[in-house]
Amino acid sequence: MTLEIGPASPSDAEAIRSIYAFHVLNGTASFDTVPPDLPFWQDKIALITTRGWPFITCREDGRVLGYAYATQFRDRPAYARTCEDSIYVADRERGRGIGKLLLAELLKQAQACGFEQMIAVIGGGEPASVALHSGLGFVEAGRMRDVGFKFGRRLDTVYMQRSLRD
């Protein structure tokens, strides 16, 4: 089976919703506690792609196995060249290198649309996400301690950063 990376479309919203819902309900990478509904994801895909920012999926035999997108890090104009990434892989597909494929392509596409820095905001300081980002050249830029509380645990948020400039 061949993994294919390509742009997300509105028809991917349900698969994306389902992948994210699993992580919300079972993990600490997201500080959401209630999974967003289908219209939220339909709107998010439309908003990101309308702005010309990358929202991509990884598929195998037409099934969405994971997704990633980049959005401006903060709304203020001075942040226009800095983006934040978001990457989620279906639970049953973790460990296959899908996150690495998605992040590598996201870096290229974010640079192509004018971003110069990428920030990863890693909820819970998830070791797998830290390792993924480290492996693709991100360095730790800071840690906010005990800023989240989920599943009866206090959680850190790790900030990582990578330049997209040549």
Q: What SS3 state is found at 135?
A: helix
Average pLDDT for 129-136 = 97
Average pLDDT for 45-55 = 97
Reported confidence tier of residue 121, pLDDT bands at 50, 70, 90: very high
What tens digit of pLDDT does each residue of 56-72 get?
999 999 999 999 999 99
pLDDT over threshold 80, residue 39 = yes
Average pLDDT for 122-135 = 95
Question: Biggest alpha carbon distance in the chain?
Answer: 43
Q: Is the dihedral of CA 30, 157, 97, 42 positive or negative?
A: positive
Average pLDDT for 41-51 = 97
Average pLDDT for 96-120 = 97
pLDDT value of position 1 = 67
What tens digit of pLDDT does each residue of 106-117 get?
999 999 999 999
How would you classify residue 142: left for phi > 0, otherwise alpha for psi between -120 and 50, otherwise beta? left
How would you classify residue 151: left for phi > 0, otherwise alpha for psi between -120 and 50, otherwise beta? left
- Domains, the chain, with CATH or none: 4-163 (3.40.630.30)
Average pLDDT for 29-43 = 97
pTM: 0.96
pLDDT over threshold 90, residue 16 = yes
CA-closest candidate to residue 18, choices 127, 91, 104, 109: 91
Q: How many angstroms separate the CA atoms of 41 and 19, rounded? A: 11
Catalogue the long-range contacts made by 17-25 (C-beta closer than 8 Å, 24 or more residues apart).
Answer: 17/41, 18/90, 19/64, 19/66, 19/67, 19/88, 19/89, 19/90, 19/91, 20/88, 22/90, 22/91, 23/88, 23/91
Q: How many angstroms separate the CA atoms of 46 and 51, rounded? A: 9
pLDDT value of position 134 = 98
pLDDT over threshold 70, residue 142 = yes
pLDDT value of position 166 = 76
**Opening angle at CA 36, ends 151 and 117, nearest 5:** 85
Q: Are 5 and 62 in contact (CB under 8 A)?
A: no
